[in-house]
Amino acid sequence: MSSADIYREIILDYYRNPRNYGKLTNPDIAQRDSNPLCGDELEMHLNIKDNNVVDVKFTGKGCAISQASASMLTELIMGKSFEDVKKLSKEDILDNLGLHDLGPARIKCALLSLKVLKSGLYSYLSEKLQDAASADKIKEEASGLY
Amino acid sequence: MINIENIRNDFPILKRKVHKDKALVYFDNAATTQKPIQVIDAISNYYLNYNSNIHRAVHELAEEATIAYETTRDKIAKFVNVKNREEIIFVRGTTEAINLVAYAWGRQNVNKDDIIITTEYEHHSNIVPWQLLTKEKGARLEYIGVDDNGELLLDQLDKYLETGRVKLVTFSQMSNVLGTITDSEEIIRRCKKKGAKVLVDGAQSVPHLKVDLQKLDCDFFAFSAHKMLGPTGVGVLWARKELLENMVPFNGGGDMIREVHKYETTWNDLPYKFEAGTPNIADVIGFSAAIDYLEKIGMDKVREHEIEITKYALDKISEIKGIKLYGPMDTAKRGGVISFNLGDIHPHDLATIIDEDGVAIRSGHHCAQVLMERLDVSATSRASFYIYNTKDEVDVFVKSLYRAKELFRL
């Protein structure tokens, strides 16, 4: 897709004015990851209560795609049930961003946020909920993202 | 003056289009350069006409291949002005050359509390091997800092040399990010006085400057073929004979032995002691053609052309509002490498945008995260030039930068 289609007003807006930017104190989930190829960094914090995402924040540095993607993802999952968040797919993220047909290098930027989220859910499922089966499933999904 | 049109005609890839109909503007030469037809032909000629293993077989093909391979060694010795051809060791590239020194020299000569010095503008390949070695030995790894102009703070070197514990000082002759040309002779002079050995990473310098190793007077020197018109997978380690003779082998196997018995082996002579296994024969032969090509142009002319194009690009780019340039502005002190940032456009976004106009640049940390930290940026964009690049291409690049600005509403 062309740059004019990628760098739309909304992507630039989320890049320059990220929603839910910051950290939570004592979050239930805290997950950090980076893309070794380009050095993009992302950390997500979530609080879970009664099986719902009650608060979510992120910090990071990187390109417009990775940062806008993370910010938009936080809005997408805020208030959602834990079950719905677990089900989020690659397509959901790209739909939400309005970015399709990204090349192999740039799709990693768009999906870093989902990768961080899924890795965070993995730790939460395996350590706090002791749900090994769901944890393994989500770990596999995370590693299969790119 | 070099005849750019003739040169460009020798590079088939420069005729291709990218993104359907855009002429390719290849400004990622610090990562790897394009290859002239002479290099491609040399490799294919080897496979078509005299493919065989070297050194041991007595048939005609083997003889031709051995001569072609060994002639390259002679050419390289002449190209960087080395007296003894057996001091030229073929390796996979600069990274392997540095790792070879860290393993085969470092493990024997670096002990607890010794100091190894590198610099803040090194490529990861000249940092990580030394981290591995110093951690294993309980030795210290220290850095020469970089000033705001992108030059090394040499006073910091003296402080460490005074301790008498410095075993090795290692640095690149030209920074792959800033383009800074290191004052190598001055560093080597100071190290010699204190008995410290010196390794010079010539990956960025040998392709662009006349390098004279006898004059430079360092102890180890490394460079790669693919950054100087040659194929990937071939590089050179040069080291003083007396050092190489006292070093242990890096890899054990065929070709590096004199006699093998059940429990003991004696080593082959230099350089073969360090060239275990069947080497990258085809690409060494391709490298030979690359050197011929550069010698025909003349390294002084290569440098002259790059200064001209870098000056032109620096002038044009600095006019762009919101641009931040890194490294020395004086082209006498920098090679054809320009690192920059434009407003709040992340380098990956910038590279994506200008790629659509056919312009290939590099974006990211350039395997120099220590330097990125020093510059307090997560990444930069980098344009790097070579003999086939033109001022017209710089114009396309600059125009594309203005388009990126527009897309980002800057």
pLDDT of A36 over the 80 cut: no
Nearest Cα residue to A123 out of A11, A44, A61: A44
Class of the CATH domain delimited by A3-143: alpha beta
Task: Look at the alpha carbons of B111, B113, B116, B122 in this order and tell me if their dihedral is positive or negative.
Answer: positive
Least confident of A137-141, B140-144, B194-198: A137-141
SS3 per-residue string spanning B105-145: HHHHHCCCCCEEEEECCCCHHHCHHHHHHHHHHCCEEEEEC
Selecting from B349, B356, B379 the residue whose C-beta is nearest the C-beta of A39 gives: B379
d(CA A16, CA A68): 8
Whether B109 maps to a domain, the answer reads: yes
Q: Which amino acid is at B160?
A: Y
Q: What number is the average pLDDT over the span B121-132?
A: 98
Residues B369 and B243 in one domain: no
d(CA B161, CA B184): 16
Residues B173 and B236 in one domain: yes
Q: What number is the average pLDDT over the span B209-221?
A: 98
- Other beta carbons within 10 Å of A119: 21
Selecting from A2, A16, A39 the residue whose C-beta is nearest the C-beta of B356 gives: A2
Interface test with chain B among A12, A35, A63, A108, by most B beta carbons within 10 Å: A63
For residue A1, the model assigns a pLDDT of 82
Residues B98 and B210 in one domain: yes
Tokens 């310098």 belong to which residue?
Answer: B205
For residue B51, the model assigns a pLDDT of 98
Q: What number is the average pLDDT over the span A25-54?
A: 91
pLDDT of B144 over the 80 cut: yes
The last residue of one of the domains, among B273, B295, B317, is: B295
* Backbone angles phi and psi of B96, in degrees to 5: -65, -35
d(CA B42, CA B279): 17
Whether B305 maps to a domain, the answer reads: yes
Residues B353 and B262 in one domain: no
Residues B233 and B372 in one domain: no
Which residues constitute the domain of residue B335? Answer: 4-31+298-407
Nearest Cα residue to A3 out of B67, B348, B321: B348
pLDDT of A18 over the 80 cut: yes
Q: What is the CATH number of the domain that holds B394?
A: 3.90.1150.10
Q: What percent of chain B has pLDDT over 90?
A: 98
Q: B320 at the A interface (CB within 8 A)?
A: no
Nearest CA in chain A to B400: A3
| pLDDT single digits (tens) A110-124 | 999 999 999 999 989
Residues B153 and B61 in one domain: yes
* Residue B395 Cα to chain centre, angstroms: 27
pLDDT of A43 over the 90 cut: yes
The last residue of one of the domains, among B262, B295, B328, is: B295
Instruction: Tell me what percent of chain B is helix, strand and coil, each rounded to the nearest 5.
Output: 45, 20, 40
The DSSP element (H or E) to which A105 belongs, if any, is helix A104-123
Q: What is the SS3 assignment for B64?
A: helix
Q: What percent of chain A has pLDDT over 70?
A: 99
* Backbone angles phi and psi of B374, in degrees to 5: -65, -40
Q: Is B367 a catalytic residue?
A: yes
Q: How confident is the model at residue A142 (pLDDT cuts 50, 70, 90)?
A: confident
The DSSP element (H or E) to which B222 belongs, if any, is strand B220-224
Q: How confident is the model at residue A137 (pLDDT cuts 50, 70, 90)?
A: confident
| pLDDT single digits (tens) A69-96 | 999 999 999 999 989 999 999 999 999 9
Whether B354 maps to a domain, the answer reads: yes
Whether B36 maps to a domain, the answer reads: no
The DSSP element (H or E) to which B281 belongs, if any, is helix B281-297
Residues B21 and B99 in one domain: no
The last residue of one of the domains, among B277, B295, B313, is: B295
pLDDT of B27 over the 80 cut: yes
Asked whether the beta carbons of residue B363 and residue A61 sit closer than 8 angstroms, the reply is: no
Residues B76 and B190 in one domain: yes
List chain B residues with CB under 8 Å of A7: 349, 353, 407-408
Q: Report chain B's terminal Cα–Cα distance, integer Å.
A: 39
d(CA B218, CA B348): 38
For residue A104, the model assigns a pLDDT of 85
pTM of the model: 0.94
| Residue B49 DSSP code | I
Domain boundaries, chain A: 3-143
For residue B26, the model assigns a pLDDT of 98
| pLDDT single digits (tens) B237-269 | 999 999 999 999 999 998 899 999 999 999 999
Residues B309 and B403 in one domain: yes
d(CA A109, CA B272): 46
Catalytic entry in B18, B40, B367, B410: B367
Distance from CA of B364 to the nearest CA of A (A): 5
Q: What number is the average pLDDT over the span B370-395?
A: 96
Nearest CA in chain A to B381: A38
Residues B328 and B345 in one domain: yes
For residue A146, the model assigns a pLDDT of 76
Q: What is the CATH number of the domain that holds B93?
A: 3.40.640.10
Nearest Cα residue to A64 out of B365, B342, B372: B342
Whether B82 maps to a domain, the answer reads: yes
Q: What is the SS3 assignment for A56?
A: strand
Residues B269 and B164 in one domain: yes
| pLDDT single digits (tens) B306-342 | 999 999 999 999 999 999 999 999 999 999 999 999 9
Nearest CA in chain B to A13: B408
ipTM of the complex: 0.90
The pLDDT mean for chain B works out to 97
Q: Which amino acid is at B40?
A: I
Structurally, chain B folds into a number of domains equal to 2
Q: How confident is the model at residue B135 (pLDDT cuts 50, 70, 90)?
A: very high
Interface test with chain A among B22, B28, B345, B348, by most A beta carbons within 10 Å: B348
pLDDT of A37 over the 80 cut: no
Whether B327 maps to a domain, the answer reads: yes
Q: How confident is the model at residue A44 (pLDDT cuts 50, 70, 90)?
A: very high
pLDDT of B1 over the 80 cut: no
Q: What is the SS3 assignment for B323?
A: strand
Residues B131 and B263 in one domain: yes
Q: What percent of chain B has pLDDT over 70?
A: 100
Q: CB neighbours of B292 closer than 8 A, spacing ≥ 6?
A: B38, B75
For residue A141, the model assigns a pLDDT of 83
pLDDT of B392 over the 90 cut: yes
Q: How confident is the model at residue B163 (pLDDT cuts 50, 70, 90)?
A: very high
Residue with the larger pLDDT of the pair A101 and A38? A101
For residue B140, the model assigns a pLDDT of 98
